[in-house]
Structures are given as structure tokens and as C-alpha cells.
Chain A
Amino acid sequence: MANIRNNKPSISGAVKNVQKAFQTKTGFVAITVRAWKRSSRFKIGFVISSLIIMVGVLAPLLAPYPRDGLGYVPEDALQKIRLSPSRDHIFGTDTRGRDIFSRVVFGVRSALIQIFLVVSSSLLIGLFMGVIAAYYKGFIETLINYLIELFMSIPAIVIALALRLILGSGLLTVVLALIITWWSWYGRVTYIYSRSIVEMDYVLLAKLSGVSGLKIIYRHVIRNASPPVLVQAVTDLGSVLLEASAINFLGLGLPPDSPEWGVIMQEGIQYLSISPWISVFPGIFILVTALGFSLIGDSLREEVDPKLRRRWRLWF
């Protein structure tokens, strides 16, 4: 409809083209801005994620019993064992008389830290490996692809088990287990995008004119391949959380008194039929957080791949 209404002189065509080119910029920020404008899913996801992050930052202020939140057993524990949700303890208390709400609020921090560490490290490794493979080709390419395939095949949970036996429990175990497997996905995505970029004329030209490999990699390949990979990473934030909490739930990750959702759920699981609140609330937080990130990721992906975005009507 827009072109019918538009009555500007015919040069407007050219201007429009430029505008359009500007709009379809593939930078990550530009994609995000566009997603915000277009998608209500993105907005919902964004609001959820921001809220969660705020809760994480403000945890000590929000938690009514910050010491409980950190894992300390309160003085009057015996009077507070497994209280059901009430005004004093809106999520109830656990078997040690700790306030579940405070624990869950502090759990936001563990969740975000785990997600951040896993995704950022995997992203760095994955980008590096993927780009190297695409640029240098030959044996290196095969080798890296082999490694990618290899680590893609190992589920994080079994690596977590081995690491747990070697390193003991702790943040390092769960984060390392996830990084070892997770980077390979980014490696693959980067590789696929970079390979097509490496084939492009301007990269060949730069190569021929003797620009150093690293410079080309940085200037052309990484810059152009990273937005789709970043989008992939955003989509993954929720999955990282789901897998990390599963690992913690099985006791392969963080130690038992940590304010971590999987750990809290594990504590509550054997009291499920008499005190369900211990396990139920942390689970809701996992679900909501993962959902928030996933909504953001999906809308971003739609931006990168316009095919997903077309309007639709049944036509036969």
C-alpha cells in the first residue's frame, strides 16, 4: 500500500533503496532493534529477561532472609521446618527451615553466572575454531570439523559425571562440562556461515592483495559471521540453563547448600508429596527464565531469516 500513497518524485526510488539497505543491516544491534519494533514475543521475552536480571542484581535487597538465601540454616530452624507458603515465607520453607523465596531469589545469580560463563566461553572458542576451519581449509578444516562432531556427540551430563569424580563439586565442574560440549555448536554455526563468507569476492580480493590472514579473519569473516552466531547464542541461553540445572539436580554440579534452582529442587524432591513447594517454585523460575530467553532468541532468528517472518493465509 505504501507505494500508492507515496507521491514523491521518482528519485524517491533510489532513496528508498538506500533506506532499505540501511534497514536490512545485519548487525546484531540493528537486528535487535528491528525485532523489538516488530515482535510482541520479543517484547515479552525482553521484559521477562530484564526482570530476572534485575532480581539477580537486587537479590540481597529483595530476599527477606538473605542469610537463608546464602544457605545458612536459621537459628529457629526447628520451628520453621517445611512450613507451607504463608505471608512470612511466601514460597514456604525447606527441610532446614530456610526461606525458599530467598533461596530462589539468590538462585537467579547462580543461574545467570552459569549461563554467562558457559555461553561466553563457548562462543569465543566456537567462533575461533569455526573461523579458522573455514579460512584455512585443508587438513585444519577436517580436523576442526572432526573435533566439532566429536564434542557435539558427547552429552554434557556424562562429562559432568567424569569431572565431578575428578574435580569434586563446584561451579567449575558444571560450567566446564557445558563448555566442553557447547562450543561445538557455535563452532559449527560459525563454520557454515564463515565458509560462505570466505568464498566471497571481497575476501578473495583481500587475500590476493596480500592482506594478512588474521586481518581478513577479523575484519571480514568474524564480523560478518558473528551476528547469526550471536543470535544462536541468545536462543541457547535458556537451554544452557535447563541443562545446567539438570546437572545440578543430579548432584553433579554445585554443592548441596548452594542457592541454585536445580540444587534446591533436588533437596525438595524427596519431600514432594508432603512439601511440594520446595521443588515447585525453583522449577517455575527455571521455566520462566528459559522461556524469556527463548522468546528473544526466536524473534531474533526470525529477523535473520526473513522466510520465517512472512505473513500467511491458507491458500488452497
Chain B
Amino acid sequence: MSRNLLIVGIIVALIAIGSVALFYLQRPETTRKVVVYAYNDRITGIDPSVEDDTGLVVLGSVYEPLLYYDPRSDEFKPALAINWTRNEDGTEWVFKLREGVVFHDGTPFNATAVKISIERARDIYRSTGRGLGYIWDMVSTIEILDSYTVKFVLDYPARLDLIAAASYAAYIFSPSVIERTGASDILDGKIEEWFNQGNSAGTGPYFIEYYRPDKEVRLKKFEEWWGWKIVNNPNAPDYVIIKILTEPQSQYNGLTSGEVDIVSSVPRDYVGQLLSRGYKIYNITTYHNYILFFNTKRYPTNLKEFRLAVAHAIDLDELVQLCMKGFALKGSGMVPHNFPGHVDNLTYRYDLSIAREYLNRSGVETPITIEFLYQVDYEEKRILAETLKSRLHQLGIEVVLNPQPWTALKDIAKGIWEDPENTPHLIIADWWPTIPSPYDYLYTMFHSESKEWNYAGYENPYFEELVDEAWKLEGVDYQAALEKYYQAQKILFDEAAAINLWDEVKPFIYNPKIEIPREAMNPLHMYVIFFQYVRVG
């Protein structure tokens, strides 16, 4: 009996050892150039007109807008449009399109595609409120002048070049999808369904070969892409695998085991260690900022003095270290660094005596209890919440923590407009822009019309007027517009409706066997890596 057991045991052990040895000896040589990119969130959808969230990471490589805009250098780069003109008051824009471009399905790119794509984004937003098509809100008609020329007629002046370079809702897809899906019109839900099944119909350098939004998205090089000649990168990856690894720890493991080449979010504490092990880093100052809203409709945060007291009790230097491990720039104003309209010196000074003075002036009796709503799955927000709770405790302000998943947080925070008394006093949210304009930040988060995102419940007619004027002025006098945006931010700062805590610096860590040049990332396109520029091996 026991002898048989021993024999079986030995055989099993031998097989195990043998197979492991085989495994390490027989690892096939890499023949194809593959880049594995670990992304930290599920893909919420890949309809180029509707998607307003994490789908960007795929869309960015599969579709192209008319133009790209790099805020770091304030430069436009032609994409599907090669040049464009505008009339004097900025209400008519004519785009000349690139010729000889084909979609992934082989159909040619032309003006019709542009018209249909943009109208679909705009109209879906107009009819259902979904997506970010509001950026085309001012577009009244799109005229096809010839196959490769389109004319946009606007209701009011706007910087349509900036809008056309938006990271969402500005992608051009092939009109053939309407026919292929049997959709009745461009608004038909069948089209979205078709896209979300993992189909692509763009002009980008990669197309989707395999799509599992919860696991991985495999992109394959699109050989007919018009830009290969221009990019001239023979080492561009043949395949790109976007691997969904939500846990920072998993990203770390993937990178160190060599199965992943680029990681988007290892725990920040690990960065130093990884660099010392020879991994390379691409730090990008993002437009992703963390904003702490005060509920301006509920006692005691409806009192400006109380809000200022809290603002001065927050040690941003400490928080940037503690929460972001230094991977952030202290916030100033509402618009992040390097973004059009950013202003310096709109940062509250950390000084507890000032804070106490404001607290006295506010007349709020301490101890007082306030509630803090934050997103539970962000480690840095948890640290922030717990630290804030401990610090405000010194001022006699007790903070009750209310961690929620993102969707629940949105739901509760929006309640400020209907039921402010049951909405927490402090709400933290983070934001990244769709269009390269301060309007994106100031309107969406502080305008009383934007009930979806204005978690402060902030209403200030003077501020709103300034922002609205600035937006319309952008198409006419950009500098004057920026000045108005500055004034608007000054108002927010003085009133302390919200605090811009920090702008995130995103460290992308990657395996030294690949190369990521500067142009492979654009802070406007959050998390997107333009793989056509990446060099493998």
C-alpha cells in the first residue's frame, strides 16, 4: 500500500519538476511585437459617440478625431483634417479632410463620415443626455461642400478647433455601421450594441481583434493606416493587449513577472523600488484633479467663513505626500497646471490660527459634526478622508465618513439640488476634461445649470455670467476669455465653494525593453497611449 503510494508520489513529483523545467526551457521566442498595457479599470463601453468614461483607453488608438491638440506645447496636430479655416466671428468653420484614408472595414473616409459621426454624438446627447455630445451643442448644421470638405455652421461663436480635438465624442466612425447593423437611423440603439460587442469602425492605427471589457482588449496593427509613413516607426507593436488589472498590486506583479510591459497604476509607494530595479518611468502631469466640494446649501458649510476655516486647516503639502506619495502638484485655482486657463497662487495657506479665526467669525459652535462623502475604491481618497477627519478634529469639527462606490457617490452628491439637508457637507470628486477649455471645469462643476456635476450646489449669477461670456468669447477673443476665466476662479477661491486639492502626476512605469517617446501620450487623452509611437525591442 504505502509502497504504491510512494511510487505514485515520486512519479507525480517527477512529472511536476519535468513540466516546470520544460516550461522554462520551451518558452517560445517572441516573434511578434506585442505590448501589454495594464489598465486599472474596466472598459465601460466603446461606442465612439456615446462613451464618456474608461472606453477612452481603447477609443484613443482605434479612432481619430479631426485634430489633436497638445496643451503642453499649445500645438495642433492635424489628424483626419489637414487644415481648417474660420470666419471672422467664429461661427463658420471649414475643415479640409485628409484624402486616401480608409476605415478598418475598408470603406473610404470622407465628409459624410464626419457629418454622421458628429451629428450622432450631438443628437444622442440632445435626445437622451447620454455621452459628451454637448460639446457640439453650438453646431447648427454640418454642410458637405465636397467629398473632402465640411463646413460647420454654429449658433454662437466657439473654438471649434479645440472642440474638434476633444478626447470624447469627437471620433469619426464609418457610416457603414448603419447599414451593417440594420439600424433605422444614427440614433438607433443597435449601433451602440454593435460597437459594445467589440467591433470597431475607425481609422486609427489599431483595430479591435478581441474585446472582453472586463478582462482584456486586444488591438491589432492596422496596416493601411494613413499615418505609418509619417510616424515611420518600424518597431511599432503588432499587437497591443490592454489588460484590465484593477488591483494596483496585480499591476505590480504583472510588471515584475514580465507579463506586462506598461502599467498605469502601481501603488505609488512602489515606484521608487521599481525604478531602482531598472524599470523606466513616464511621468505625465495630468489634468486629473481632485476637488473637495462644500455643500453650500447646508449648515454649517453654507457659511463662507466656515468653509474658509476648513480650507485653511488643510495642509496640502502633507496631503500630497500622504495621499499621493508626492505624485501630484498642489492645486491652484480650479484649472489644473499646464491647462489653458490655469492660474497660480490661488492656493489656501495652511495656518491653523487663520482657520480658528475664520471659525470664530463664522459663529459656528464647536464641536460640530459634518459628513464627508468619498469614493471608497480610491486608496488616496481614503487616506484623505481619514487624515481630514483627524485634522479637523483639532478644530472641534467631527467628521463622519461616508465611503461609497462611484455611482452611489454621484447619486448622493447630485441630491444637493433636491435635498441639500440630506447631502453630506464635504464631497470629493475628481475630474478630467473633455475639451481643452477652462469652461470644461468651471461650467460643469460650478454652474447652476450643470446639476449633474455641481456637487457644491453652488449658485452665483455673477460667476455664471463670467463663465458663459468667456465661453462665447473663446471663438472671438481667446485672451479676453482667459481673463474672464481667471476672474471666475478668483470668485470661487474667495468664496471657497470648493478646493482643488491637487493635480495628479501619473507615473507610467514600463519595461526598459520598450520605448515610450514623449508624443505617445497627451494629457488631454487620459490613459491613452498612442502605440504607433511606441518602440518595441
A and B touch in the complex (CB under 8 A): yes
Chain A residues in contact with chain B, CB under 8 A?
A: 71-74, 77-78, 81-82, 95-97, 165, 168-169, 251, 255-257, 269-275
State A168–B391 Cα separation when bound (angstroms): 25
State A272–B252 Cα separation when bound (angstroms): 11
- Of the candidates B270, B273, B377, B387, the one whose C-beta lies within 8 Å of that of A96 is B387
Chain B residues, CB < 8 A from A168: 402, 404, 408
Given contacts A72-B390, A73-B387, A78 and B321 within 8 Å (CB-CB): yes
Q: A74-B390, A82-B269, A256-B385 are in contact. List 18 more A-B contacts (CB 8 A).
A: A71-B386, A71-B389, A73-B383, A95-B269, A96-B322, A96-B386, A168-B404, A251-B376, A251-B377, A255-B403, A256-B382, A256-B386, A257-B385, A257-B389, A257-B401, A273-B249, A273-B252, A274-B273
Secondary structure of the B contact surface, majority rule? helix
State A81–B404 Cα separation when bound (angstroms): 25
State A165–B386 Cα separation when bound (angstroms): 22
| A72–B403 touching, CB < 8 Å | no
State A96–B386 Cα separation when bound (angstroms): 8
29 contacts between A and B (CB under 8 A): A72-B386, A72-B389, A72-B393, A73-B322, A73-B383, A73-B386, A73-B390, A74-B390, A77-B387, A78-B318, A82-B269, A96-B322, A165-B408, A168-B404, A168-B408, A255-B403, A256-B382, A256-B401, A256-B403, A257-B385, A257-B389, A270-B248, A270-B267, A271-B267, A272-B249, A273-B252, A273-B270, A274-B273, A275-B269
Distance from B422 Cβ to chain A, minimum over Cβ atoms (Å):
13
Given contacts A271-B269, A273-B252, A96 and B383 within 8 Å (CB-CB): yes
Chain A residues, CB < 8 A from B269: 82, 95, 271, 274-275
Query: Which B66-104 residues have a C-beta within 8 angstroms of A?
Result: none
Q: 4 tightest A-B contacts by CB?
A: A73-B390, A72-B390, A73-B387, A270-B249
State A49–B144 Cα separation when bound (angstroms): 81
For residue B379, CB closer than 8 A to chain A, the reply is yes
State A96–B376 Cα separation when bound (angstroms): 16
For residue B247, CB closer than 8 A to chain A, the reply is yes
| A255–B401 touching, CB < 8 Å | yes
Given contacts A78-B322, A168-B404, A274 and B386 within 8 Å (CB-CB): no
State A302–B403 Cα separation when bound (angstroms): 46
Chain B residues, CB < 8 A from A78: 318, 321-322
Task: Give the tally of cross-chain contacts (CB within 8 A).
Answer: 67
Distance from A174 Cβ to chain B, minimum over Cβ atoms (Å):
14
Given contacts A270-B249, A274-B269, A169 and B403 within 8 Å (CB-CB): yes
- Of the candidates A81, A257, A271, A273, the one whose C-beta lies within 8 Å of that of B386 is A257
Produce 1/0 per residue, B242-273, CB < 8 A to A: 00000111001000000000000001011001
Distance from B372 Cβ to chain A, minimum over Cβ atoms (Å):
11
Distance from A314 Cβ to chain B, minimum over Cβ atoms (Å):
15
The chain A residue sitting closest to B382, CB to CB, is A256
Chain B residues, CB < 8 A from A72: 386, 389-390, 393
The chain B residue sitting closest to A273, CB to CB, is B252
The chain A residue sitting closest to B266, CB to CB, is A270
State A223–B404 Cα separation when bound (angstroms): 46
Distance from A71 Cβ to chain B, minimum over Cβ atoms (Å):
6
Produce 1/0 per residue, B365-389, CB < 8 A to A: 0000000000011010011011101
Chain B residues, CB < 8 A from A270: 247-249, 267, 379
| A81–B322 touching, CB < 8 Å | yes
Distance from A259 Cβ to chain B, minimum over Cβ atoms (Å):
12
Chain A residues, CB < 8 A from B377: 251
The chain B residue sitting closest to A74, CB to CB, is B390
Chain A residues, CB < 8 A from B393: 72
Distance from A173 Cβ to chain B, minimum over Cβ atoms (Å):
12
Distance from B364 Cβ to chain A, minimum over Cβ atoms (Å):
22
Distance from B501 Cβ to chain A, minimum over Cβ atoms (Å):
16
Chain A residues, CB < 8 A from B382: 256-257
| A77–B318 touching, CB < 8 Å | yes
State A163–B197 Cα separation when bound (angstroms): 31
State A271–B269 Cα separation when bound (angstroms): 8
State A186–B117 Cα separation when bound (angstroms): 62
Query: Which B217-236 residues have a C-beta within 8 angstroms of A?
Result: none
State A81–B272 Cα separation when bound (angstroms): 15
State A256–B382 Cα separation when bound (angstroms): 7
Given contacts A71-B386, A269-B249, A77 and B322 within 8 Å (CB-CB): yes
Chain B residues, CB < 8 A from A96: 322, 383, 386-387
Chain B residues, CB < 8 A from A251: 376-377
State A165–B389 Cα separation when bound (angstroms): 24
State A275–B171 Cα separation when bound (angstroms): 44
Chain B residues, CB < 8 A from A256: 376, 382, 385-386, 401, 403
Distance from A6 Cβ to chain B, minimum over Cβ atoms (Å):
45
State A168–B374 Cα separation when bound (angstroms): 13
- Of the candidates A73, A77, A165, A274, the one whose C-beta lies within 8 Å of that of B270 is A274
State A257–B388 Cα separation when bound (angstroms): 12
State A225–B382 Cα separation when bound (angstroms): 48
Most central of A74, A97, A269, A273 by chain B CB within 10 Å:
A273
Distance from A82 Cβ to chain B, minimum over Cβ atoms (Å):
7
Query: Which B393-447 residues have a C-beta within 8 angstroms of A?
Result: 393, 401-404, 408
Distance from A244 Cβ to chain B, minimum over Cβ atoms (Å):
18
The chain B residue sitting closest to A251, CB to CB, is B376
Chain B residues, CB < 8 A from A169: 376, 403
Chain B residues, CB < 8 A from A255: 401, 403
Chain A residues, CB < 8 A from B385: 256-257
Chain A residues, CB < 8 A from B322: 73, 77-78, 81, 96-97
State A140–B401 Cα separation when bound (angstroms): 45
State A256–B376 Cα separation when bound (angstroms): 8
State A97–B383 Cα separation when bound (angstroms): 11
Distance from A160 Cβ to chain B, minimum over Cβ atoms (Å):
14
Query: Which B257-299 residues have a C-beta within 8 angstroms of A?
Result: 267, 269-270, 273
Most central of B321, B401, B408 by chain A CB within 10 Å:
B401
State A99–B379 Cα separation when bound (angstroms): 18
Chain A residues, CB < 8 A from B376: 169, 251, 256
Chain A residues, CB < 8 A from B321: 78
The chain A residue sitting closest to B374, CB to CB, is A256
State A297–B4 Cα separation when bound (angstroms): 38
Distance from B21 Cβ to chain A, minimum over Cβ atoms (Å):
27
The chain B residue sitting closest to A256, CB to CB, is B382
State A222–B318 Cα separation when bound (angstroms): 60
Distance from B389 Cβ to chain A, minimum over Cβ atoms (Å):
7
State A96–B252 Cα separation when bound (angstroms): 21
State A72–B388 Cα separation when bound (angstroms): 9
Chain B residues, CB < 8 A from A82: 269
The chain B residue sitting closest to A272, CB to CB, is B249
| B270–A95 touching, CB < 8 Å | no
Produce 1/0 per residue, B298-321, CB < 8 A to A: 000000000000000000001001
State A28–B254 Cα separation when bound (angstroms): 54
Distance from B320 Cβ to chain A, minimum over Cβ atoms (Å):
10
